[in-house]
Amino acid sequence: MPDHLDELDRMFMGVAVDGSTSFVPTHRASQPANPIVDVEDSDDDEESDKDYFDPLSPSSVGTKRSHSMRSTPSTRSMATSPSKKLKSPAVRAVVKEMQVRNNLQKDKATSIDTLFGRLDQRRDDDDARARQKAERIMALCRECRVTEATPPLWVAMFKLLKDRDAINVFELSNPEGRKTLLEHLARVDN
């Protein structure tokens, strides 16, 4: 016998889900005074039902009832009403815990999406700044007549883009100073 069955018995002791099939054998109100007899059945079935009727057993939910004994649609729909609270404290606790966990998961997913969105935006901003810097340096190189037609100096411009301090000096210099810096970078590492 599994260990958790005793725990389940203790959790659901005295709890009825909707009350329609609850039964306490020692309680007088639980014992039907008149058994429900199906009017549509034949006499043979009625006699066999009486033979098997046990006053200490609950009546079946599926027992056929006469037209006058049938429940109305409004009472049948009450059991599935969304506004009806769950009676079991264990079920309420589990539902509440699941709602909390679902909310935490949604918050976590939102935070991760926000973080990745920020990282993507930062990467895009960095790429845009690097492109603007390269365009600005290329324009300054062209002012001092360094173009694709002067390959060693053009490659030196590429080396220049990797050094922040050199970029600052390059931008603050006049065209002759810029060309001198590029000539120096072209000689280094050759």
HEC string for 2-59: CCHHHHHHHHCCCCCCCCCCCCCCCCHHHCCCCCCCCCCCCHHHHHHHHHHCCCCCCC
Question: What span, in angstroms and rounded, lies between the C-alpha atoms of 174 and 177?
Answer: 5
Q: Could you state, in order of their start, the residue ranges of all structural domains in the chain?
A: 93-187
Helix then strand then coil, in percent of the chain rounded to 5, is 60, 0, 40
Q: Summarize pLDDT for 103-151 with one digit per residue, the tens.
A: 999 999 999 999 999 999 999 999 999 999 999 999 999 998 988 898 9
pTM over cut 0.75: no
